[in-house]
Homo-oligomer: A and B are copies of this chain.
Amino acid sequence: MSVTQTGEFGLIARITARLGAGPAAPFGPGDDAAVVVAPDGRVVATTDALVAGRHFRQDWTGPVDVGHRAAAANLADVAAMGAAPTALLVALCTPPDLPVAWVDGLADGLAAEAALVGVRVVGGDVSASPTLTVVVTALGDLAGAAPVTRAGARPGDTVAMAGRVGHAAAGLTVLSRGFRSPKLLVDAYRRPQVPYAAGPEAAVLGATAMIDVSDGLVADVGHLATASRVAVDLRRDAFPMPGPLRNAAEALGVDPYDWILAGGDDHPLVATFPDGTLLPEHWQVVGEVREGSGVTVDGKPHLGPPGWDHLRGT
């Protein structure tokens, strides 16, 4: 059965049923707009699109995975402000012949990723389009803390990272060469493991700046450096190089540091902290903030690809 056979309102009813209902959003889905709690008196908001053929290939990424990834990309942006997510909204643009089962899977993936942080999809929109597109909006609450922007890093600060990096990029390379394993890497590409709780934690620990790495470590840390008007030096050997990553790189003839320094989609959080801040173990020190501009690796310019430009595709 295709979405055209279900029709707009049939499809919305079907999605809504799968998403379940709860106390977080007493008026959504099903009304003109959702009403979401914002106890802090401010709301954090971000929106990100996943386009079939650009951000995912339907033969590599099933609908449940697309749901996980679309939710994760946005929830990570909320965490990177130091906020806790409160709700998701989703706009689905779908070809007329898309199987309804695909939409079921998408709803399940969105709901499952949202459930990891205790929130739900509270509203959305479905439209016909020749290009399958999933646009998620995430909202979040700061719980009284100041938002942690990209702009507060100061020379002398420690640069630390929570979460994995390079795994998703390695998984994408594995898939693009026609392989389906190692599973650790392919799964990392399909479903990022985002350290959501580390975002508000960093705010409490006194982070001076923070960013979600979605386009590539050097590129995204570069955005933080630019916004803060500082330089950042990263230490190559500070990044863990697990066996499967090293082995896959060897087998595929790839420098694994290209995955680590330029790969996106794992959504680790990178934050800067005043020197001497006592950091929990899951915040790994990976570099330091210096006077100047730009990002260096072990004091030298990074010569590999910096990251992803969503319009140029490089």
Residues of A that sit less than 8 Å from B by CB: 3-4, 6-9, 11, 27-28, 30-49, 51, 53-55, 76-78, 80-81, 83, 87, 89-91, 93-94, 96, 122-131, 133, 135, 137-140, 142, 147, 149-151, 210-212, 227, 309-313
Contact B43 A38 (CB under 8 A): yes
With contacts A38-B40, A96-B311 taken as known, whether A49 is within 8 angstroms of B89 at the C-beta atoms is no
**Interchain CB contact (< 8 A) of A46 among B33, B49, B126:** B33
Cα(A33)–Cα(B76), bound, Å: 10
A131-B128 contact, Cβ under 8 Å, with A32-B211, A35-B142, A37-B42: no
A140–B81 Cα gap in the complex (Å)?
21
**A33-B44 contact in complex given A89-B137, A125-B49, A130-B53, C-beta closer than 8 Å:** yes
Are the CB atoms of B131 and A45 closer together than 8 Å? no
Q: Is the CB of A45 within 8 A of B32?
A: no
B126 touches A311 (CB 8 A): yes
Residues of chain B contacted by A34 (CB below 8 angstroms): 44-46
B35 pairs with A147, CB closer than 8 A = yes
Show 8 residue pairs from A and B whose CB-CB distance is below 8 angstroms, ordered by the A residue.
A7-B311, A38-B43, A41-B41, A43-B43, A47-B125, A47-B135, A89-B137, A127-B311
Whole-angstrom CA separation of A248 from B152 in the bound complex: 60
**In the complex, how many angstroms separate the beta carbon of A24 from the nearest chain B beta carbon?**
11
Q: How far is the CB of A270 from chain B (nearest CB, A)?
A: 11
